[in-house]
Amino acid sequence: MTAPTSQTNEIRDDNLPAPVRDVVLRFVTERPLSEGSGAGIERWSVQAAVAKASQDAERPVGELHLVAVDLVRSVDPWAALDSSNDDLAHIGDTVFDMNTGQLSEMLDSSIPRGGDRLLILDRVELEPAWQGHNLAALLVAESLDQLRPGCRVALCLPAPLERRPDETDEQYQSSVERMRHVWSQVGFRPFRDGVWLLEPNSGALDASLRRLRSRHGLTA
């Protein structure tokens, strides 16, 4: 994802392919029968699109991918993440104890008790015409708001573990800073080893969502 640049004024609809108020989110998850009912790992995709009018085709805006981990039902969430992509494996190594498969003592003791689910933001992809308008932060905040019931903590890695072969040090660092700016607008804060966290029921997400919706001219 190309992270949007920092802006301070309300986003104007005439700079976008369509008004943000016309964007809808569709939440989709799968439950493979082969994994049984107690796997405790859900993979969500959140599809953002401009709602079709009359006979017009629905126009894609972007897609978010998240992983929800049930800390009670999942026997070994560390192993589940370790077998995923490199970014999720790194998050798993950072927040879980590889010996027990459960939350590390450092994370467990640093966040309030309450809730048995953990949300991980895997990736965000926006169509080129929608990039650079501060929309990624809004879509992430809206998605976390929908999925946060029972969630104790949300996690993300606001920078790729590896940079593109053609990127210079300056370009890579600039990209990292833009991405961190996006996630900080949602309410994420640094935890350790590049992983950031957000306690979605602490009030920080609500405050961020109000600011982001206001910037796009939406009812808070």
120-167 pLDDT, tens digit each:
999 999 999 999 888 999 999 999 999 999 999 999 998 766 677 888
Angle at the Cα of 29 from the Cα atoms of 25 and 30, rounded to 5 degrees: 155
Single pTM value for the model? 0.86
Task: Look over the chain and give the mean of its residue pLDDT values, rounded to a whole number.
Answer: 86
Angle at the Cα of 66 from the Cα atoms of 61 and 71, rounded to 5 degrees: 160
User: What's the average model confidence in pLDDT over 186-210?
Assistant: 94
Strand partners of residue 45: 28, 65
> How does residue 9 score in pLDDT terms, banded at 50, 70 and 90?
low
Residue 79: CA count within 13 A, CB half-sphere: 8
Show the domains of the chain with their CATH numbers: 13-215 (3.40.630)
Closest to 4 (Cα-Cα) out of 138, 167, 160: 138
